[in-house]
Structure 1
Amino acid sequence: MNRKERGICLIINNFNFEKSRQNGPQCTRLENRNGTEKDEKSLNEVFSRLGFRVEVKNDLDGNEILETVGSYSKQNFDNNDCFICCILSHGNTGLVYGTDGQGVAISDLTFCFRKCLCSSLNGKPKLFFIQACQGVQPQNCVPVESDACNASHVDNVTSNDLIPGEPDFLLGMATVLRCSAFRHPNEGSWYIQSLCSELSAHYHRGEDILSILTKVNEQLSKKCVSNKTQMPQPWTTLSRKLVFNLPASPVSHITPNDN
């Protein structure tokens, strides 16, 4: 990465799920996601420091998530090195939830950036980091909360369904399929806080993103509460090592609140 502006880091941060609770029993009550503001702040700080223009969208429903991510895939990235999308929400197998309780397939979001739809990112890394449960397998710990609900989910989803079969995609998931991911109501989620901590600690040493994600896995594998733990999982088609290095001058934060 050597361009003055590395690229855009889009953060979709869903906190308020009141709309889903008003829409009826689409799934077991989706509580507001206390602590997610800590994750947004940490992601904003670390990716701004790494030269990305950070843009934050708060409390999007399902259609708005699809429309927002789709609109970014139509932008021109000729002068950028990379695109990053971070989604902080409730979820289930292969899905993230909008604030209205509508499930959005992760594959629909990553597939927006295929070669045929976003040619200006051809040969450039497209990174997606998802903080959301991918199932309801019990892993409840105190005082953490679960980013899941008991909706029906698609049991035949596999890792191959989540990212295109093309080079240069990376999907960093907070948890393996069908399992829960945890978020502390005061300190933020296990995965995002570990990701930001490891990025901050190792980017200046020239370590590539997969090495950093391996350290995240190691850190969370040792984090046990009441004999419960959480195992993140990265899936990747990256064709080269991806190393974050500091730009000449950090890019300013941009944090619009569209809702």
Structure 2
Amino acid sequence: MSEAKGHEEETTWRYSFKEKKKSCCLIINIDETEKKIDGTRVVKKIRTGAGREVEKLKNTFTSERYDTHVMEMEEKKKDVYDHVTDYIENVTKDNDDEGKKLAGNLKTSDVFICFLLAFGGPGFFYDRKGNKISLSAIIMQFKSCPDLLEKPKLFIIQTCDLNLRPVGKHLFRDEDQDISEPHCWPQDADILIYESNISGEYDWNPGLRKNKQGKRTSFPSLQCSTFIKTFCKAFKASEDNTEFGDVIMRTNLMLQKFVENRHFWDLQDETWSSAPKLPIVTDQLCKKLCFPSYN
């Protein structure tokens, strides 16, 4: 087989990465939300480990291969849809504005990766005002982007249970939270959704104590969530041409130990109102996705 023919056949079954071209990585960080209590009183819920998660992701998806942009929801006059719309506009048009260049360029990007860090549950998340937002609606904004046509679009989602709370072990129960909206993902090509509901509170709930090797240890509240930490470890350990599905498999195998062993996530004297569950993958990629070697 000639080299030209071999290259042509290879591109028909796997996504290609152009040499010296950067891919776009977007991190949507919603580090707090509002929750109503008794129908009137509003309390603020804060994801204290969100900053560490952003730091871990930026150290993994480095500037050598990725144009990584962190989207913070600080402007309360804008909702998350407006923020995403502004981002897409900045990365889909050619301009000489250095500030906009930092976000990257979807037209020249080989792959688009989006991380969403927020409170939420299967198929939804909460914005800073406590509004329930459909994940599908956000994903569809990128699905309809012409510059991402036939390119792999990866959505890695870390949502923390807004109602997770410590309870006595005699009250322990493992049941799914009631969801009023149907959990319906887009069945479109070239999209992969990797969604974790392993709440970060297992790692960074302020003021709580956990067991560690039989000793009473006070854990600091500012820690990266187990899912993001484990995913980054698996991704960085990937070798040349490792398929992305293998990265997910390695991540879930490591997380399975965490889920099965309460020693990792039990409180000192209590447990949680809900047990962690393994992340779910919805894979609609049309080709094999192999990232270049991380090293």
TM-score normalised over the length of structure 1 = 0.75
Q: 1:122 aligns with which of 142, 149, 160?
A: 149
Counterpart position of 1:221: 256
Aligned to 2:70: 56
- The yes-or-no answer on 1:95 pairing with 2:111 is no
Question: What TM-score, normalized to structure 2?
Answer: 0.67
Where in structure 2 are the equivalents of 1:1-259 lying within 5 Å?
1-17=17-33, 20=34, 25=39, 29-48=43-62, 51-60=65-74, 64-74=79-89, 75-76=91-92, 77-114=106-143, 117-133=144-160, 153-154=179-180, 156-157=182-183, 161-162=184-185, 164-175=186-197, 181-183=199-201, 184-185=203-204, 186-202=222-238, 204-223=239-258, 224-225=261-262, 226=266, 228-246=275-293
Q: Give unpaired runs (5+ residues) of structure 2.
A: 1-16, 93-105, 169-176, 205-221
Over 3 Å counting, the alpha-carbon distance change for 1:22 and 1:182 in structure 2 is closer
8 Å contact 1:194–1:219 — kept in the other structure?
yes
Deviation per CA, 1:5-51, whole angstroms, max 9, x where unpaired? 3322111112243xx25999589845211111111011111111661
CA distance in 1, matches of 2:178, 2:277: 22
Question: Do the aligned residues in 1 keep the contact of 2:22 with 2:65 (CA within 8 Å)?
Answer: yes
Q: 1:191 to 1:139 in 2, by over 3 A?
A: farther
Which one-letter code corresponds to 1:108 in the other structure? A
Instruction: Give the structure with the larger strand fraction.
Output: 2
Q: Which secondary structure does the structure 2 equivalent of 1:89 belong to? A: strand
1:170 and 1:135, CA in 2 relative to 1: closer, same or farther beyond 3 A?
farther
Kept in 1: contact 2:26–2:113 (CA 8 A): yes
The one-letter code sitting in structure 2 at the alignment partner of 1:129 is I
- Quote how far apart the aligned CAs of 1:187 are: 2.2
> What letter is aligned with 1:72?
Y
How far residue 245 of structure 1 moved from its aligned partner, in angstroms, is: 1.3
Matching residue's letter, 2:46: N
Aligned residues with identical type, % of pairs: 22
Tell me by how many angstroms 1:139 deviates: 8.6
Give me the whole-angstrom Cα distance separating, in 2, the residues matched to 1:55 and 1:199. 19
Residues 156 and 15 (structure 1 numbering): CA distance in 2 closer, same or farther, change over 3 Å?
Answer: closer
Structure 1's consecutive aligned runs of 4 or more residues displaced over 6 angstroms after TM superposition are none
**Aligned-pair Cα RMSD in Å:** 3.3
Q: Who wins on radius of gyration, i.e. which is larger? A: 2
The alpha-carbon distance between structure 1 residues 49 and 195, as it changes in their structure 2 partners (threshold 3 A), is farther
Q: How many residues align?
A: 227
State the distance in 2 between where 1:73 and 1:198 align.
29
Q: How far did residue 246 of structure 1 move?
A: 5.0
